[in-house]
Amino acid sequence: MRRISILCGVLALSLNAQTVKIVVQNPAVLKEIQAGGGLPSQVRLVAASGADLAKEMVDADAYVGGPLRADELKAAKKLRWVQSWGAGVEGFLFLSGNTTLRDSNIVLTNNRIVEGPELADHAFAMLLNLTRQLPRFAANREKELWQGNSAGIVALKDKTAVVIGVGGAGFNIATRAWAFGMNVIGVDPQDYASSPIVKRYVKPDQLDEVLPLADVVFVSAPHTEQSHRMVGRKQFELMKQNAYFIAVSRGGLYDIDGLVKALDSKRLAGAGVDVTDPEPLPKGHPLWKFNNAIITPHVAGRSDVDFGNMAGTARENIKRFVAGQPLVNVVDKQKGY
C-alpha cells in the first residue's frame, strides 16, 4: 500500500512538472509577461510569428496573440487555450470565414474589460472636443485670433446618451456620461437591472425606438454577425437633429456611407470615430472633409498603462491555466463576446 502511495505521489509530481508550452505572437508581449514574474516553473514561453508560427503551434498547449489562420489552428493538435491580445475576437471567430476555433473545444479569452477606461476616456475626449468647439478654437490659435464666438457650444447636463454595448467599455462610457449629468439608455442583449447610472436598458432590436431620443449615440459593442452594420442609413436618419455620433469599438458596427450622408445633410452636429470600415480610412474618403468629424487611427484603447495591463491578463490566465483554475474573460464563442 505504501509503495502504491509513493508511486502515485511520484506520478503526480511528474505530471505537475510537465512543460506547458505557450506560443506568444509578439516578442515584446512575451518580455512583458515575463517581467511581471510569478509564472510557474513548467511554463515555456516561445515567441513566434509569420512562417514560424504554424511550426511552433504543432505542440503548443496555449497561444497569446492575434487571430490565427485555419492552417495554424489545424497544425495545433494540442492547443487547449487561446488568449486574444485585444478585446475584439471577430477575427478569430467570424470575419475570416474560418469557424475552426469557434466550433472547437479550445477556450478563448480576451482583454475586453482591460481597455474599458481608455476607450471611455477617448470617447468623451472626442465628444467634448465637439461640444466645446475645440477644433474651431484650435484653428483660431494658429491665426493668433481671439474670438469669443460661443456658437455651437453645448452643455451635456440633462442631455440623453444612448450607449450601444454596455460591457467593459460601454459601462465606463455610461459612468462618465452619468457623471456629466446625462440621462443614459443602454442597448445590450444581456439582461441588466436599471441603476442610477443606466436608467433604462433595451435590447438591440429596440434600437430604433431610442435613437430619436439620443443627443449622443456611443458605439462600444463587439463586432459580431448580429451586430454588423446595426447602425445603418435608416438608423442615422432616425437620430435627433444635431445629435452626436461617437464610435470606439469596431467600424463594422455602423454604415460609414450613412454617417457621411448624416454629416453632409447636417442632421448630425458632429461625429467622432476611432474605428472605420474600411480601416485604415483611405485617402480621399469623403469622411475626411468634414470639420465636425474627429477621426483617430484606432488608438482609443491605448495609454501609458494599457500594454502592461493587457499582459497582466495573459499572465494571470497563464497561472490559472497551469493550475487548472477557471480563466478570466472567457469568451462565449457562439455569441462572439
CATH superfamily, domain 2-114+305-323, is NAD(P)-binding Rossmann-like Domain (3.40.50.720)
Confidence bin at 287 (pLDDT 50/70/90): very high
Residue closest to 170 by CA, chosen among 182, 183, 156, 186: 186
Average pLDDT of the chain, as a whole number? 92
Alpha-carbon torsion (332, 50, 314, 317), positive or negative: positive
pLDDT at residue number 283: 97
pLDDT at residue number 2: 45
Residues 290-310 have pLDDT tens digits of 999 999 999 999 999 999 999
User: Given a cut of 70, is residue 99 above it in pLDDT?
Assistant: no
Contact 103, 84 (CB under 8 A): no
User: Given a cut of 90, is residue 95 above it in pLDDT?
Assistant: no
Average pLDDT over residues 76-88: 94
Sheet holding 107-109, edge to edge: 43-47, 20-24, 62-65, 81-84, 107-109
All structural domains of the chain with their residue ranges = 2-114+305-323, 116-295
Confidence bin at 18 (pLDDT 50/70/90): confident
User: Given a cut of 70, is residue 81 above it in pLDDT?
Assistant: yes
- The amino acid occupying position 43 is V
pLDDT at residue number 8: 40
pLDDT at residue number 56: 95
Residues in the chain: 337
User: Given a cut of 90, is residue 189 above it in pLDDT?
Assistant: yes
pLDDT at residue number 312: 95
Task: Describe the crossing of helices 134-142 and 116-131 by its angle, rounded to 10 degrees.
Answer: 70
- In whole angstroms, how far apart are CA 75 and each of 20, 52, 84, 224? 17, 12, 18, 26
Average pLDDT over residues 126-149: 95
Q: Per CATH, which fold does 116-295 belong to? A: Rossmann fold (3.40.50)
Residue indicated by cell numbers 469599438: 249
- Pull the grid cell for residue 80: 487547449
H helices of 132-265, in order, are: 134-142, 168-179, 207-210, 233-238, 256-264
Residues 243-270 have pLDDT tens digits of 999 999 999 999 999 999 999 999 999 9
Residues 26-71 have pLDDT tens digits of 999 999 999 999 999 999 999 999 989 999 999 999 999 999 988 8
Average pLDDT over residues 119-143: 96
Identical fold between 2-114+305-323 and 116-295:
yes
Confidence bin at 314 (pLDDT 50/70/90): very high
Rounded CA separation 206/204 (Å) = 5
pLDDT at residue number 71: 84
Average pLDDT over residues 182-198: 96
